[in-house]
Chains A and B, each alone.
Chain A
Amino acid sequence: MENHERTGAASIPDGRPRGSAAPPPLLEVRGLTKSFFGIPVLEDAHLTLYRSQVHGLVGENGAGKSTLMKVLAGVYQPDSGRVLLDGEEVSFSHPTKAHEAGLSSVFQEFNLLPDRTVAENIYLGREPRRGVLVNKALMNAKTAELLESLGITAIRPTAQVRTLTVAEQQVVEIAKAVSYDARIVSMDEPTAALAGAEVELLYQIVSRLRERGTAILYVSHRLRELFDLCDVITVLKDGRVVSTGPASELDDTRLVRLMVGRPISAFFPDKLPRTDSGADVPAIPILQLEGAGNGQLDGISFNVQPGEIVGLAGLQGSGRTELLHAIFGAAPFTRGTMKVEGREVLPKSPREGVRARMALITEDRKAEGLSLNQSILNNALTVIRSVFPRRAGAARTEIPGVFSSLEVVARDLDQEVQYLSGGNQQKVVLAKWLAIRPRLVLLDEPTRGIDVGAKVAVYRLMRKLAAEGKAILMVSSELPEVIGMSDRILVMRDGRLAGELPAGTSEEAVLQLGTGARTAPGGGT
């Protein structure tokens, strides 16, 4: 167990600045609980923010960071618990209520109108007026002043947001949050979309805000940033605060251990013996990549053997999804070579990818995987009908068998997929791809948003496909899943492969490689 100021029910979490007269807290969160559909996302969370303090909030995906932020922003209402601002209890029924109280948030997804100017975006809904008319000169001047106070001079208030770089848009987003006279600014992964030099800009803004007395809640996966910026770090795990205390008392290894600290459950099925004939022969890799790259990826080289499940880990935005899309032809490689079963193939469209017998199970099944208002049968036959129409008839007769082996729960094949549960929808997506008898299966977050039973069904299917000699490449943000299912784990960082880890590695090792906390692949602690 860690000694880093473990917080129990008895002690109030503290990151109180040391000194003779400790200032009163600006914001206190006590016993906050929030559930979605009966599943607790936050349980008894507490947090204390002080003026001029940067408070880091870390945790794995699903730990409850974003939910906590959204409660503070007035986007979600907590089920129970109290939020105290300057010692007085507050509750925000609408985002504007939070703004009025001096609490602003910068979310991951941009909340800007790309076709409007910087000033119009920042003062949207609060445009300064002279009489009934909007005082544009004043609005632009105030915007320039605001940006300057953050140390930004390169952004013109009259520039269209669309013409700005991602980093500049992020700055505008932060400026908008600050412009509500915010005393507390919370930022959700503000550097997720930023590259090296641009992160410096953000550091600069954060330190300016701190000088002004603003309290900052800083959510990030990048450990280096947390140690560079934060005074206090709170670690969330499975919706609970597991630790809070001065950043100076932590290091990478301890922080990662606090974030993970849970046994990998035994719900991953064991590997199955190979059932295909080619198991004993030294096989040609199903996928071979050599120096492949495009605008988002660079220097990607690896192989996937028949019967192998390769996990693809990395942070949000590290290029994992882009890699699957490049292999499949949806966003093709522009350089390097790619071989499928020894033959050089470079698919330029998803159609060519399917012709090379690849399947891509996308991350967002509702938007990219299914036609929600069509029947199960039509969805299951979409790919085969469009790419191999002559085999559609045969595939049609196999559908009932496939569905019963996947344990799809549905009224009948004519039911519209929108009425199925997430897990059953995902099984329909899988069935649609299995119909083409793929050699290489690309899975992007295959178990996102589905229940445990369906998860296990997906895992079993993966094992079965591997046993049949198929190659599987799986992207997942759930570390236990990557570790529990993969024969090998490739970790990506900033569009490149950061390293490879063996089966059964630790979550710490994956995180360290993905965040760059340690550059050499290490076996764990």
Chain B
Amino acid sequence: MKKRGSFIDRLSSTQIVYLVALLTLIVGAVLVSTIGRNFFSQGNISSVLTGTSVLGFIAIGQTLVILAGSLDLSVPYVASLASLIAAGVMANNPGNVLPGVLLTLAAAAIIGLANGLIVARLNVHGFIATLGMGLIISGYLATNFKGSSGQTPLSFRLIGATGLGPVPISTIIMLACAGLAMLLLHRTRMGHHLYAVGGDISVARTSGIRIDLPVITAHVICSLLAGMAGLLLASRLGVGSPTVGSQGGYDLLSIAAVVLGGTLLAGGKGTITGTLGGVLIFAMLDNIMSVMQINPFLKDVVRGVVIVVAVAVYARRRIVNRPERFSSKGSAEAPAAQAAPVEGP
């Protein structure tokens, strides 16, 4: 029942995201060259990719949660908490890197589990459940940490600072996580059920799926990835900070990247690939505007415009018409007008 539509109508949302990314790249490269800089220099590419990694981790997790029909607003606070746990446990001792990482991720997973249980078992909407969880963590951080604290050892700081050619290690780890998330979504039963629960919970239930498991799993993974983002931030800063997550605005920015990537905010439809495209667009916009030395407040205006336009385009495409019984202009040629029951032997 596809109607002939414009070029845009025939593209998948993932294709649109990457088209927009390409457009951003071209416009950015031209703009940057007008002030005598090279967008494609090794340094600049590395800087764009660095910009994708923290948001990338969080947006991948957010994608899973949104696909399952929930939402996670606690991610920035989990990232801040993670940076503090990591920097505190490591305390500038290279021997403590592994325990630091494990403990951080364990704490993040427990928060995710709590989120998931509240959403799936107590039937609190993810928006409220994680808003509450975010406030709890934020209050804890504000009362116990007056500023940055702890220190990460040099070996750990290198993760945030080195790369393979222009590609930072952190970006590679982020992409590996993206790969695992795709494997989960497309090649495991859990992934299939996650789409089903987010798409239509009653269809999922009558198909014999345990509907709380995918939701809990998505929340745990999302918090784990927010913990990864916190580790990366601790590695870059060298210290843990109680405000590093909230300053980044990762809660709303990650949701924006997911939606920009073509995922339905209501759940059930979307891809990690699309989300990565959304993250890339934001990273390029940031990079272009800082190179051009544009007023930082204008940055948000541009981001806002991009989000609204993209979602408006998707919404236009998503209007599915009921198949028509009669053509809307002429009356006589009505295709299926002759009723079934009239015919027959």
Could you tell me the distance in whole angstroms from the C-beta of A171 to the nearest C-beta in chain B?
15
- List the 10 closest pairs (A to B, CB-CB), nearest first: A195-B336, A295-B324, A516-B341, A96-B208, A494-B339, A125-B207, A115-B269, A516-B342, A113-B199, A199-B340
Q: Which residues of B contact A (CB under 8 A)?
A: 1-2, 183, 186-189, 191-193, 195-196, 199-200, 202-204, 206-209, 264, 268-269, 320-329, 331, 334-345
Given contacts A124-B196, A134-B187, A165-B1, contact A194 B325 (CB under 8 A): no
Task: List 27 contacting pairs A-B, 8 Å CB cutoff, sorted by A.
Answer: A95-B206, A111-B202, A111-B203, A114-B199, A120-B192, A120-B195, A125-B196, A125-B209, A134-B186, A134-B191, A136-B186, A136-B187, A163-B2, A194-B340, A196-B336, A197-B336, A198-B340, A224-B342, A224-B344, A228-B344, A295-B322, A296-B322, A296-B325, A296-B326, A319-B325, A335-B331, A516-B342
Further 15 A-B residue pairs, CB within 8 A, beyond A134-B192, A222-B341, A517-B341: A95-B206, A95-B208, A111-B207, A113-B199, A124-B204, A133-B188, A164-B1, A196-B336, A196-B338, A225-B341, A293-B331, A294-B326, A294-B328, A295-B322, A296-B324
The chain B residue sitting closest to A195, CB to CB, is B336
Asked if A291 contacts B331 (CB within 8 A), the reply is yes
Chain B residues with Cβ under 8 A from A164's Cβ?
1
B298 CB to closest chain A CB (Å) equals 36
| Residues on B with beta carbons closer than 8 Å to the beta carbon of A129 | 189
Closest to B320 in A: A162
Complexed CA–CA distance, A191 and B343 (Å): 14
- Answer whether residue A519 sits at the interface, using C-beta atoms and an 8 A cutoff: yes
**Contacts of A92-121 to chain B: CB distance below 8 A:** 95-96, 99, 111-116, 120
A163 and B203 in contact (CB under 8 A), knowing A493-B339, A495-B337?
no
**Known contacts A293-B326, A334-B329, A113 near B268 by CB under 8 Å:** yes
Q: A133-B187, A194-B340, A293-B331 are in contact. Are A115 and B199 (CB under 8 A)?
A: yes
- A295 in contact with B326 given A113-B200, A335-B331, A495-B337 (CB within 8 Å): yes
How would you classify the secondary structure of chain B's contact residues: helix, strand, loop or mixed?
loop
Identity of the chain B residue whose Cβ is nearest the Cβ of A111 in the assembled complex: B203
Say yes or no: A134 contacts B188, CB within 8 Å. yes
Known contacts A111-B203, A162-B320; A127/B189 CB under 8 A: yes
Collect the chain A residues with CB atoms within 8 Å of residue B196's CB.
113, 116, 124-125
Q: How many residues on A have C-beta within 8 angstroms of the other chain's C-beta atoms?
A: 57
| Docked CA distance A228–B341 (Å) | 10
User: Could you say which of A116, A223, A294, A336 contacts B195, with CB atoms under 8 Å apart?
Assistant: A116
For residue A515, CB closer than 8 A to chain B, the reply is yes
CA distance A224 to B268 in the complex (A): 40
A294 and B344 CA atoms in complex are apart in Å by 27
A118 to chain B, nearest CB (A): 13
Chain A positions within 8 Å of B203 at CB level:
111-113, 124
Q: When chains A and B are docked, how far (Å) is the Cα of A298 from the Cα of B187? A: 48
Q: Which residue of B lies closest to A166 (CB)?
A: B323
Interface hub of B183, B192, B202 (most chain A Cβ within 10 A): B192
B324 surroundings in chain A (CB, below 8 A): 295-296
Centre residue among B200, B268, B327, B342 by max chain A CB count within 10 A = B342
Query: Could you give, for residues 485-503 of chain A, a 1 whenever the CB lies within 8 Å of some chain B CB and a 0 otherwise?
Result: 0000000011110000000
Judge whether A298 and B337 touch: CB under 8 Å.
Answer: yes
Q: In the assembly, what is the distance between CA of A125 and CA of B206, in Å?
A: 9
Contacts of B328 in A (CB 8 A): 294-295, 334-335
Q: Chain A residues with Cβ under 8 A from B336's Cβ?
A: 195-198, 494
Q: How far is the CA of A395 from the CA of B187 in the complex (A)?
A: 61
User: In the docked arrangement, what's the CA distance between A363 and B195, Å?
Assistant: 32
> Which residue of A163, A165, A195, A228 is within 8 Å of B325 (Cβ)?
A195
Proximity string of chain A (132-149) to chain B, C-beta cutoff 8 Å, 1 when within and 0 when not:
111010000000000000
Most buried by B among A114, A115, A191: A115
Residues 223-240 (chain A) with a chain B CB within 8 angstroms: 223-225, 227-228
Picked from A124, A132, A134, A196, the residue with its CB within 8 Å of the CB of B343 is A196
Which residue of chain B has the shortest Cβ distance to A130 in the bound complex?
Answer: B187
Q: Which of A111, A126, A293, A516 contacts B339 (CB 8 A)?
A: A516
Q: Please determine whether B341 and A124 come into contact, CB atoms closer than 8 angstroms.
A: no
Most buried by A among B195, B199, B325: B325
The interface residues of chain A lying within 8 Å CB-to-CB of B187 are 133-134, 136
Residues in A with CB closer than 8 Å to B323 are 165-166
Whether the Cβ atoms of A125 and B326 lie closer than 8 Å is no
Q: Quick check: is A299 within 8 A (CB to CB) of the other chain?
A: yes
Taken together as a complex, chains A and B put the C-alpha atoms of A189 and B344 apart, in Å, by: 18
Residues of chain A lying within 8 A (CB to CB) of residue B189 = 127, 129, 134
Q: Is A297 an interface residue (CB 8 A)?
A: yes
Which residues of chain A in 151-182 are interfacial with respect to chain B, using CB atoms and an 8 Å cutoff? Answer: 162-166
Q: Which residues of B contact A99 (CB under 8 A)?
A: 208
CA A223 – CA B284 in complex, angstroms? 64
Q: How far is the CB of B41 from chain A (nearest CB, A)?
A: 41
* Complex alpha-carbon distance, A95 and B342, angstroms: 36
Q: How does the 8 Å CB contact mask read for A192-230 relative to B, with 1 for contact and 0 for none?
A: 001111110000000000000000000000111101100
Nearest-neighbor residue (CB-CB) of B268 within chain A: A115
Residue of A nearest to B189 (CB): A127
The docked-state distance in angstroms from the alpha carbon of A495 to that of B326 is 8
Q: Give the residues in chain B near A199, CB-CB below 8 Å.
A: 340
Report the bound CA distance from A298 to B333 in whole Å.
10
What residues on A are CB-neighbors of B264 within 8 Å? 115
Assuming A199-B340, A493-B339, is B334 touching A298 (CB within 8 A)?
A: yes
Taking a contact as CB atoms closer than 8 A, the residue among B183, B329, B343, B344 that contacts A335 in the complex is B329
Q: A515 CA to B340 CA in the complex, in Å?
A: 9
Interface centre among B268, B331, B343 (most CB of A within 10 A): B331
- Cα–Cα, bound, A282→B70 (Å): 63
Closest to B205 in A: A95
Smallest Cβ distance from A401 to chain B, in angstroms? 42
Cα(A126)–Cα(B342), bound, Å: 41
Rounded to whole Å, the gap between the CB of B339 and the closest CB of chain A is 4
- For the complex, what is the distance from the CA of A360 to the CA of B325, rounded to whole Å? 23
Provide the A449-462 mask, 1 if CB < 8 A to any CB of B, else 0: 00000000000000
CA distance A116 to B203 in the complex (A): 12
A519 neighbours in B (Cβ, 8 Å): 342
The minimal Cβ–Cβ distance linking B191 to chain A, given in whole angstroms, is: 8
CA distance in complex: A225, B339 (Å): 12
Chain A residues with Cβ below 8 Å from B334 are 298, 495
Q: Are B209 and A494 in touch, CB under 8 angstroms?
A: no
> How far is the CB of B185 from the nearest CB of chain A, in Å?
10
Q: Restricting to A275-334, which residues have a CB under 8 Å from any CB of B?
A: 291, 293-299, 319, 334
Contacts of B268 in A (CB 8 A): 113, 115
Chain A residues within an 8 Å CB radius of B195 = 113, 115-116, 120
**Closest chain A residue to B344, Cβ basis:** A224
**Cβ distance A166 to chain B, nearest Cβ, rounded Å:** 6
User: Considering the chains assembled together, what is the distance between the CA atoms of A99 and B203 in angstroms?
Assistant: 14
Taking CB atoms and an 8 Å cut-off, the chain A residues in 467-505 that contact chain B are: 493-496
Q: Complex formed: what's the CA distance from A132 to B320 in Å?
A: 36
| B191 contact set on A, CB distance < 8 A | 134
CA distance A194 to B338 in the complex (A): 12
What's the least CB distance linking B134 to chain A, in Å? 28
Task: Give bound CA distance, A118 to B336, whole Å.
Answer: 25
On chain A, the residues within 8 Å of B344 by CB distance are 224, 227-228
> Would B341 and A298 count as touching, CB distance under 8 A?
no
A95 cross-chain contacts in B, Cβ below 8 A: 206, 208
Q: Is the CB of B188 within 8 A of A132?
A: yes
- The chain A residue sitting closest to B342, CB to CB, is A516
A298 to B196, CA, bound (A): 38
- Chain B residues, CB < 8 A from A494: 325, 336-340
